[in-house]
Structure 1
Amino acid sequence: MGTITGMRVVRTSLDTAARLFLDWSRDPLWRAQVRRMDVEPPGRAVTGQRIVEELRFAGLTFVTPTRVERAGPTFAEYRGGGAAVTVSGSRRLEARPDGVVTLVATLDVRLRGPLRPLTGLLIPSYRRLQEDDLDRLAAILGDGVPDEDLTSSRSRPAAGGHR
């Protein structure tokens, strides 16, 4: 579908932002279409970490095995894919001196096989979806989420089957 980049600036600590944004097992808390997220080893992104994401988009279910290719305390870069889609991208955090953190999500999505002709039609929808997800993430971080609310199972389904 192409590369989609979104950015939000949130008044929170770098550590709090990293605990939510750089731990894929917590994606169901803020990404609306995520149905399941399996992460091995569990926790914050590390180089070599394996992620299997199941999400619902455009009436279709996508299961995407992904691997974290590089990671550090404030970033993760990933690549993966399956029969219907390939993905790559990054999540980055930047602490600013004024007490806010900039979150940047970059995603490159490519549809494959019989879905490939739909690529042009789906780009605007996926861009809106990512923007809405980042708004949810910013709201959660801006509200000062307690640690116990950030705890989730490694493959927690979204509330009510979707969010």
Structure 2
Amino acid sequence: EEFLKRIREGFFLEWAKVYRYYYGSPKSEVERILSQGKDALLIIDVQGAFEVKRKLPNAVSIFLLPPSMEELKRRLLGRGEREIEERLEWAKKEIPCAKHFDYVVVNDLLDRAVEEIKSIMIANRRKAAFVFDNENYRSLGFGEDILEAIKGGRCDAKKV
């Protein structure tokens, strides 16, 4: 009941009911992290990702895929999952949505998947549109004089 009240109050950036349980990402916490120039990493389902993208169009979405359905089933069994069939059906509905995400990472080896996600996050921070908006350039180590030269100068590729 408290969760439903918070939904009505707009407390969550995104929320979803998954497998009979409610989950949500508090908007204020995401805003706090972003205001510090940090990345907010949300582990959410497809409907949550689409909601975040609707509210924050510059958000980067990464779809984590299992290497195979058989491996997904094995992992669920390994966790002692009681509702395996329900979760497998849910996965079959969500997997086709991967084509609507910015990136796809296959979660075969945990260390490799983590490194791929880190690489995506680093690459996104280096996008010019991200760097030169707001104060994001500060995290890259160049000064305001360089920023002003970039913003104030005119790029004439024919004369360079």
TM-score interval for Structure 1 and Structure 2 normalised by the shorter chain? under 0.3
* Structure ranking higher in helix proportion: 2
TM-score (norm 1): 0.24
Structure holding more strand per residue: 1
What TM-score, normalized to structure 2? 0.24
Computing the radius of gyration from Cα coordinates, the structure with the larger value is: 2
Larger relative CO (CA 8 A, sep 6+): 1 or 2?
A: 1
